[in-house]
Every structure is written in C-alpha cells, then in structure tokens.
Amino acid sequence: MTGATTTAPYASEIEDLLGRMTAEEKLGQLQQLSWTGDTGPGEGQTHEVETAARLGLLGSVLNVAGPRHTNYLQRIAVEESRLGIPLLFGLDIIHGYWTTFPIPLAQAASFDPGVSARDAEVSAREARSNGLHWTFAPMMDVTHEPRWGRIAESGGEDPYLNAVFAAAKVRAYQGDDLAAPDRLAACAKHFAAYGGAEGGRDYNTVDVSEARLRNLYLPPFKAAVDAGVATVMAAFNTISGVPAHANPHTLTDILKEEWGFDGFVVSDWTGVHELIAHGFAADGADAGRLSLNAGVDMEMVSTHLADHGPRLLTEGRISEKRLDDAVARILLLKFRLGLFDRPYVDEGAAVTGPTGEARAAARETAARCMVLLKNDGGVLPLDPATGSLAVVGPFADSTDLLGTWIAPGAAGFPAVTVLDAVREAAPTARVTHARGVAAEGHDTGGIPEAVALARDADLTVVVVGEPAAITGEAATRADLALPGAQRDLVAAVAATGRPFVVVLVNGRPLTTDEWLDSAPAVLEAWHPGIEAGHAIADVLFGAVNPGGKLPVTFPRTAGQIPVYYNHENTGRPYRPEHPDEKYVSRYLDLDEGPRFVFGHGLSYTTFDVGAPSLSTDRIEAGALRAGATVEAAVTVHNTGDRTGDEVVQLYVHDVVASQVQPVRRLRGFRRVTLAPGESTTVRFPLGAEDLGFWEGTGEPRFTVEPGDFHIYAGNSALAEEKRTLTVT
Ligand code: NOJ
C-alpha cells in the first residue's frame, strides 16, 4: 500500500479523505492517547483527549471502555471535528473482557487452538458491545525465559505452537467481517524477538542472528499476518542494536514488503519516546522521524510525531508519501470496522457481565489447560465421597487466580475459589481450611494449624503458587521457586505422612526442588481465570480427565536457564550412556536435562503412541518446494480404563544441514479423546515448511536441503518412535 495510490478496498474513500486533510490532521490520525481509567468524561486528564478529538488531531484512544464513555468521545470526534473521522478504541483484552479465561500460557498448554478461539470469541462479543474496536492481543513472543514475567502472556517456547495459536486467536477475534457487532481487530505483538530479552529482564537487549530471528521469533507473526491480523505492535527491545521501534528491516522490509502486511503498526506505550533512552534518537523529533521512517504508523501515548511532524515534513526528514501511507493504513482499518457508517455502539445492547454460557466456556477451557505433572500411585482423581478433606495454602481460599492482564471491569468478577469449589464437588465431605502461609513473606506461624488439619483429614489439597502481581509485564524473577514460605508448607504437610496433592497456580514454569519428590501428585493449573476453582475441582475429582501438556520446559533450577527442547547439539553433547564423561556440555552440579520436558503431561488413563508411518520414505526437494507433502500417520491407543485425552506430537530433525538444526522441532500436534481400548490414527502432512529452514547468511533464503530427516512421534519432546525420510 502506498498511501494516496492505494488499491486496497475503500481506496477512493481514503484518497478523498487524504486529499482533504491538513498535514496536522494526518499526523493527528497517527496519534493514540490514553484515557485515564479513573476519570469520567470531561474530568481530569481526559480534557487533553477530548480537545485533541475535537480538533481532529487524534486517531485512537486506549484504555477507554464502556458504551457511555466510548460514545461520548466518539461524538466529539464525529460531530465536532472538521472532517468527522471516527476514533479507534483499543484496550488490552488479553484473556477476557468480563469473562476472564486462563492466561495465554495456560491456553497453549491445552494444545487445542480451539481454547484460544473460544476466549477470543467471547472477548470480542463482550468488548465490542462495550464500544471497543481493537484488542492488543494476541501476544506471540516465543521465549526461552521463564524468569521473564511476560512468558505468562505468550504461548511458550515453541515457534510452531505459538504460530498455530496466534493464527487461531486472530481468526476468532476478527471473524470474516470486522464490521460485525461481535468482532475485534487484533494486534500481533510484540514485533519482534521481545522474548529474547537477556537474562529475562523485561525490555532488555536482544542480539539475534537473522537465522534465529526468522526460524524462532518470526513464524508466529507470519502466521498472524497470513491469518489477516489487522495490526502489529512494535516491541520495546533492540534487535541486534537497532530498537524494534526504529527498525526498517523488521517493520518495513520483512513485515510490510516481504509479507505484504496491509494493516498498521502501532508503537508500544511511549515506545517511540524511549528511542531517546536507548541512545538511538537524539531528541523527540529524531525519535518521531526514525520510527515513522522505519515503519511505525501510530504512536501510543508519546506525541513526537504530532508535535514535531510539521517541522519534520518541512525539513524533508519525513516524507508526505510515508505519512499518507501510515494514515491510509489507519483509515483502512476504520473503514473495515464500519466506523464511518456506525461510529456508535448501542448502549442498550452492551454485555454487562459474564453470561452463564461464557462462564461455562471459561470453566471448560480452564480444565483443558491443566497439566498433570505427576500422579504417583494414582492418588488422583479424588473420590467425591471422601470423608474429610483439608484444603490449605495461600491460594486455597483466594480469588487471586485470574492472572496477569485482567480487563478493567473483570476485577468485579472474581475467580471462584478452590475451597468453595471443593465444597461443591464433595458435598458430603468434611472440608476444613487453613491458609498456612501467605503467598509471599517468611512467616511460618500458620503452618502448625495447616498441619493439624492435614493430620486429621483423609487427604489434603495444597494450593500454592504465584500471586498474579509477580507475573506479567515488568515482573521478572531471578528465583523461580515457590515464593516465600510456601515450600515450608508443602514440606510440613508431606512430613505428616498423610496423603496429599499439590495444585500449582502460577504464570510461569516454577522450579520445584525437593518438595516435588515428596508430593504424590502435582497438578499444574496455571492462573485459570474466573472459573478457576470449579475447573480445578473438575480435574481433581475426575469429572475432567487432564490432557494438557507443557508448552515450555520446566527447569531444575534457574541456573540452568535457558533450557529448551529445540536446542542445537554441541560438538560434545552429554551422552546418558556415559554419565561420567568430563568434556561434555553440562553442569557439574546438576542432573542432566530439565525437571519436566516440553510436551509433558499425564492423564488418569494411559496411552500408547506408535511409530509414525510415512506415505513414502523418499521425496525430491523440488517436489516439496512445489507443494508436495509426505503424510506421517500415527496411531494412538488408550491402554487404560478411563476415557481421556492424548496430544499426539510430531517432531522432525534434519540430521545433517548446512546450518546446524535443532535436535527436534515440533511440526504437528493433535489432541484426541479416546475411550478405554479405543485407538485412532492421526495424519500429519509434512511439507517444505516443516522440513526446511531459513538460512541466515547472505540474502535470507528458505531452503529444504537433501538428506535424511528423522520423524518422531510421541507424547512429549522425548518422543522416541521414529522413521527416516530421505529428501533427494
Ligand atoms: C505495554 C505493553 O508492552 C503492551 O503489551 C500493551 O499492549 C501496552 N502497554 C498497552 O497497554
């Protein structure tokens, strides 16, 4: 798209508007300001927003919500500004508007993109009816960093898994028609490589090769663009020395030109201004110039383009052509959303809270996201007829289960507690409760009470984890253990010798140290959202058989990070059959491998996943490039005595390549439900995209090289069953 000469839909309308806009009005379309959530129309800082809207110097507002406030502001823009261009209202609707679904990391653990689609559909319906047009989601930052709090918002460590979820969520938010009253424009964020932050410290430096950029970080964004995502948000980090907000290589060469993205790029919050702190821009004018010229189309919160744009234009430091292109992209979305025809929302039709149906979807999806890490001796599921149960821990009677990023109104709809849900699920049991310890802090004074209850109960459920406040943005942790004295609580309950199970509620992989060995069963529930307690009880009592899998590796200790399944081999890999070898790549003071591998997750039943059978064991590289595929068929059998879900996982390894390849790459997965004794065959097409890789030296090129490929099938990244495919 080239602004005034665009051939996109609405080209003539856009051209007409561009022809009538002053330079200031064009720059105004590039401006997004924040409404301060705690003030109403005409109050406090909203004056600035209202004035800009009235003068036609504002394109978008974030953090405004509700039909009354959005209509109020929209009226100013449409009825009082010179050209009457409607405003675009955006908000971070990350995993729910009223109805909070499980956090995105949990959703990825479902290995069922339908889970994210349901979140997106419910969110879009609730939010659009409240005057919102645009969500700053989905986040799709691949990361190897559990210390990074924002891992909670991502799909974990795998590019393919992130890509599948990103595409599903974009499609579900946007539907086929953005003008529909139950759809939202989506935003693929954060472009790019934000998850590579050094040390997991938020906003930190990322130095990444072109090969890793394209093979690891970009695939989810490409999938989102292919799914038609309306907008993309720039990332706070630098990419090999060039801030993502001023990076023409990623924003223009790759996103807009190579991929043909016709939406617009929004900066992150003051991301344009931060070019000065990075030491990349000399001042505000320079920051505006660098970001617009690199490909940013809309500036969130800082105002450098609006402030300095007229001078930059006069001095020729930004071009009218580029400005028109940015404006045209923004106007195009406003047309697609139908805002020129229907700028207001029907105040009488707003969804005002979670419906029963939305709650049911949140409950069902939350249970689908849970991962049974451990279940020695089949202690789970619990019998609802158990005589007595103790429910202890800082999160047993807590509503802090919604996770990071809840929408402004969602706080009015707290999570169902585990205690309440256990009482409901086991109505005849005597259920006792003690907190034991707080979520943080070192006071162990409450432990004896919890221990007394555990001694007195048939079984104890210990609910431990992370408060939402230490997950998400700007919430990096150096230590991934259970915070505070929670480990002491688990140890004290274990020391009673009575049966117990641990439920983890958290936003990132935790390290589990010795307490893990003492716990017969551990259920990873993540931050499950509004129906948290019910979903946890559904799994604990077996109404739902857990089938989630880890979307990210769980390390043994923070010192082992980064540890991820799709790593390259060194020239001296550790060999389990030679545990005493010295000159190999390993830690002297740590057992080899992670605590839990990517893709791990148990069930109350058992499965056998067979070796893949290939439709052919030889194929020409040229045929693959022309679109041919090889089918890998994998048969999975429920060998236990309960109906349950298994996630069949397919991994590939390019054995010898001109650029060292990951030891395994996930290239297919399918979650299936099987009755006892039942089996099914899952088929995965493997094409060029699955077998090839981006070469990073010279002109970047996607290539499929001749040679042998190992194709693995199984139910975790440790999949052992394999076949060899030869590409000639
Ligand atoms: C900063 C975050 O990085 C981004 O994800 C979010 O969408 C914006 N703030 C707007 O709230």
DSSP result, 360-372: HHHHHHHHHH-EE
Whether the pLDDT of residue 698 is over 90: the answer is: no
**What tokens were used for 490?**
């688990």
Distance, in Å, from the CA atom of 391 to the CA atom of 460, rounded to the nearest integer, reads 6
Distance, in Å, from the CA atom of 193 to the CA atom of 416, rounded to the nearest integer, reads 36
Residues contacting 656, CB < 8 A, separation 6+: 707, 708
268 CA from centroid of ligand 1 (Å):
6
Question: For residue 153, which atom of ligand 1 is closest to its CA?
Answer: 5
Distance, in Å, from the CA atom of 706 to the CA atom of 472, rounded to the nearest integer, reads 43
Strand-by-strand arrangement of the 187-191 sheet = 187-191, 231-234, 264-266
Domain membership flag for residue 62? yes
Distance, in Å, from the CA atom of 719 to the CA atom of 726, rounded to the nearest integer, reads 20
Which sign does the torsion angle of CA 527, 380, 543, 370 carry?
positive
Decide: 190 and 139 in contact? Cβ < 8 Å: yes
User: Do residue 504 and residue 392 come from a single domain?
Assistant: yes
Decide: 456 and 434 in contact? Cβ < 8 Å: no
Coil, helix or strand at residue 288: helix
Domain membership flag for residue 276? no
User: Do residue 492 and residue 622 come from a single domain?
Assistant: no
- For residue 333, the Cα-to-chain-centroid distance in whole angstroms is 24
What total number of domains does the chain contain?
3
Decide: 87 and 79 in contact? Cβ < 8 Å: no
Q: Which residues line ligand 1 (CB under 6 A)?
A: 92, 136, 189, 268-269, 473
Coil, helix or strand at residue 648: strand
Which DSSP symbol is given to 669?
A: E
Question: For residue 187, which atom of ligand 1 is closest to its CA?
Answer: 7
Whose Cα sits closest to atom 10 in ligand 1? 269
Share of the chain above pLDDT 70, in %: 98
Task: Check residue 28 and give its pLDDT.
Answer: 98
The pLDDT of 388-414, averaged and rounded, is 96
Whether the pLDDT of residue 675 is over 60: the answer is: yes
Residues contacting 194, CB < 8 A, separation 6+: 141, 150, 206, 235, 236, 237, 244
User: Do residue 384 and residue 514 come from a single domain?
Assistant: yes
User: Do residue 619 and residue 699 come from a single domain?
Assistant: yes
91 CA from centroid of ligand 1 (Å):
9
State the burial class of residue 621 (Cβ atoms within 10 Å of its Cβ: 0-12, 13-18, 19+).
middle
Element (H, E) at 710: strand 707-714
Which sign does the torsion angle of CA 208, 209, 211, 214 carry?
positive
616 CA from centroid of ligand 1 (Å):
47
Domain membership flag for residue 492? yes
Domain membership flag for residue 584? no
- Amino acid in position 189: K
Whether the pLDDT of residue 391 is over 90: the answer is: yes
User: Do residue 328 and residue 360 come from a single domain?
Assistant: no
The pLDDT of 539-568, averaged and rounded, is 98
168 CA from centroid of ligand 1 (Å):
21
Q: Which domain holds residue 455?
A: 356-555
Distance, in Å, from the CA atom of 526 to the CA atom of 713, rounded to the nearest integer, reads 27
Lowest-confidence region among 284-293, 444-453, 511-520, 701-710: 511-520
645 CA from centroid of ligand 1 (Å):
35
Pocket test for ligand 1, best of 62, 89, 136 (most atoms within 8 A of CB): 136
Lowest-confidence region among 287-291, 551-555, 573-577: 573-577
Residue 384 neighbours by CB distance under 10 Å = 18
**Residue 514: pLDDT band with limits 50, 70, 90:** confident
- For residue 470, the Cα-to-chain-centroid distance in whole angstroms is 17
State the burial class of residue 422 (Cβ atoms within 10 Å of its Cβ: 0-12, 13-18, 19+).
buried
Domain membership flag for residue 164? no
Model confidence pLDDT, tens digit, residues 96-112? 999 999 999 999 999 99
Task: Check residue 36 and give its pLDDT.
Answer: 77
Decide: 126 and 351 in contact? Cβ < 8 Å: yes
Q: Which residue reads 């028109």 in tokens?
A: 324
Share of the chain above pLDDT 90, in %: 95
**Which among 486, 530, 487, 480 has a CA at the least distance from the CA of 507?**
480
Residue 446 neighbours by CB distance under 10 Å = 17
User: Do residue 640 and residue 506 come from a single domain?
Assistant: no
**DSSP one-letter string for 56-113:** T---EEES--SHHHHHHHHHIIIIISSS-PPPEEEE--SS-SSSPPPPHHHHHHTT-H
User: Do residue 339 and residue 384 come from a single domain?
Assistant: no
Pocket test for ligand 1, best of 32, 34, 92, 406 (most atoms within 8 A of CB): 92
Q: What angle do CA 360, 369, 199 make, to 5 degrees?
A: 135
Does residue 158 carry a catalytic annotation?
no
**Residue 697: pLDDT band with limits 50, 70, 90:** confident
Last residue of a domain, one of 326, 345, 364: 345
User: Do residue 622 and residue 499 come from a single domain?
Assistant: no
Distance, in Å, from the CA atom of 175 to the CA atom of 277, rounded to the nearest integer, reads 39
Domain membership flag for residue 82? yes
Decide: 187 and 230 in contact? Cβ < 8 Å: yes
Task: Check residue 2 and give its pLDDT.
Answer: 38
Pocket test for ligand 1, best of 93, 233, 273 (most atoms within 8 A of CB): 233
Model confidence pLDDT, tens digit, residues 649-659? 999 999 999 99
The pLDDT of 500-507, averaged and rounded, is 98
Whether the pLDDT of residue 513 is over 90: the answer is: no
Distance, in Å, from the CA atom of 223 to the CA atom of 165, rounded to the nearest integer, reads 9
Whose Cα sits closest to atom 4 in ligand 1? 268
Question: For residue 236, which atom of ligand 1 is closest to its CA?
Answer: 3
- Amino acid in position 468: A
User: Do residue 648 and residue 520 come from a single domain?
Assistant: no
Residue 498's domain is classified under what CATH number? 3.40.50.1700
Model confidence pLDDT, tens digit, residues 16-34? 999 999 999 999 999 999 9
Model confidence pLDDT, tens digit, residues 52-67? 999 999 999 999 989 9
269 CA from centroid of ligand 1 (Å):
6
Mean pLDDT for all residues in the chain: 96
Question: For residue 300, which atom of ligand 1 is closest to its CA?
Answer: 10
Kindly report whether the global pTM for this prediction surpasses the value 0.95.
yes
Last residue of a domain, one of 313, 345, 377: 345
Pocket test for ligand 1, best of 143, 268, 273 (most atoms within 8 A of CB): 268
Kindly provide the residue ranges of all beta strands, DSSP E only, lying in 255-311, ordered along the sequence.
264-266, 299-300
* From 202, 268, 538, 654, active-site residue: 268
Q: Where are the alpha helices (DSSP H) in 626-697?
A: 688-691
Task: Check residue 437 and give its pLDDT.
Answer: 98
Whose Cα sits closest to atom 11 in ligand 1? 92
Distance, in Å, from the CA atom of 348 to the CA atom of 351, rounded to the nearest integer, reads 9
Q: Which residue reads 């720059």 in tokens?
A: 27
**Which among 66, 31, 65 has a CA at the least distance from the CA of 48?**
31
Whether the pLDDT of residue 1 is over 50: the answer is: no
Task: Check residue 9 and give its pLDDT.
Answer: 85
Distance, in Å, from the CA atom of 455 to the CA atom of 438, rounded to the nearest integer, reads 21
Residue 616's domain is classified under what CATH number? 2.60.40.10
Task: Check residue 43 and give its pLDDT.
Answer: 62
User: Do residue 304 and residue 369 come from a single domain?
Assistant: no
Coil, helix or strand at residue 151: helix
Decide: 603 and 644 in contact? Cβ < 8 Å: yes
Q: Which residues pair with 464 in a beta bridge?
A: 504
487 CA from centroid of ligand 1 (Å):
33
Q: What angle do CA 426, 537, 362 make, to 5 degrees?
A: 135
Decide: 111 and 156 in contact? Cβ < 8 Å: no
User: Do residue 667 and residue 704 come from a single domain?
Assistant: yes
Model confidence pLDDT, tens digit, residues 239-258? 999 999 999 999 999 999 99
The pLDDT of 410-423, averaged and rounded, is 97
Question: For residue 190, which atom of ligand 1 is closest to its CA?
Answer: 5
Whether the pLDDT of residue 13 is over 90: the answer is: yes
Which sign does the torsion angle of CA 117, 122, 127, 129 carry?
positive
Which DSSP symbol is given to 316?
A: T
Task: Check residue 175 and give its pLDDT.
Answer: 98
Task: Check residue 412 and give its pLDDT.
Answer: 94
Model confidence pLDDT, tens digit, residues 343-389? 999 999 999 999 999 999 999 999 999 999 999 999 999 999 999 99
Domain membership flag for residue 586? no
- Amino acid in position 593: G
**Residue 42: pLDDT band with limits 50, 70, 90:** low
Which DSSP symbol is given to 462?
A: E
Task: Check residue 41 and give its pLDDT.
Answer: 66
Which sign does the torsion angle of CA 38, 47, 302, 24 carry?
positive
User: Do residue 550 and residue 628 come from a single domain?
Assistant: no
Decide: 306 and 27 in contact? Cβ < 8 Å: yes
Last residue of a domain, one of 345, 378, 401: 345
Domain membership flag for residue 128? no
